[in-house]
Amino acid sequence: MMKQEQSEQNLIASPDLSDQAMTEWLEELTARVRAGGYQVDFIPLLVYEWLDKAGRILATGAEKSAYLVKAADYMLGRLTESVEDSKAESNRRQLAEFATMRRAGEFTGVYVSQLKNLAKKMVLFDMLLATGQPDGQREAEKIDNNLTIKSEI
């Protein structure tokens, strides 16, 4: 009985990330996105990273930059909603800080990684929605880890 419990714990601690398991996860995710059952916020980054590593993310560097702008707009909307839903001062401060960075066209701190991750989710979401499956072997540029948005948003 002790070995079985340990085996179950190992399954929970280390999910199957084989190509076959990831392909099955991608198929399930694709079906849910196309059926309207998934919002962009819930797209798993792990699937994006797996596809990117395999060269199946086809977005160019310019397209990824455009998704960063789209992510900034989306995040601004979400922060505005949070202020409207809850009049908490912390929400207002966060919205003011983000809006100031957006107007300046440059993001720092936690917003950089949040925007990059949201942009990646948007890229994958749109790919799945438009085509059903990401495909192709073109090498795409990666979203730079130190990127800040300096253009007008």
Q: What is the pLDDT of residue 16?
A: 74
Q: What is the pLDDT of residue 37?
A: 83
Q: What is the pLDDT of residue 58?
A: 87
Tokens found for residue 20: 């076959």
Tokens 């789209």 sit at which residue?
A: 70
Q: What is the pLDDT of residue 131?
A: 67
> What does the chain look like in DSSP terms, one character per residue?
-HHHHHHHHHHHHS---SHHHHHHHHHHHHHHHHTT---GGG--HHHHHHHHHTT-----HHHHHHHHHHHHHHHHHHHHHHHHH---HHHHHHHHHHHHHHHHT---THHHHHHHHHHHHHHHHHHHHHHSS----PPPPPPPTT----S--
d(CA 134, CA 126): 10
> Which pTM does this prediction carry?
0.75
Mean pLDDT by 10 residues, the chain (153 residues): 44 67 92 89 93 92 93 96 90 95 93 96 92 43 42 37
Q: Domain residue spans in the chain?
A: 17-131
Q: Give the Cβ contact number of residue 23 at 10 Å.
A: 12
Q: What is the pLDDT of residue 132?
A: 52
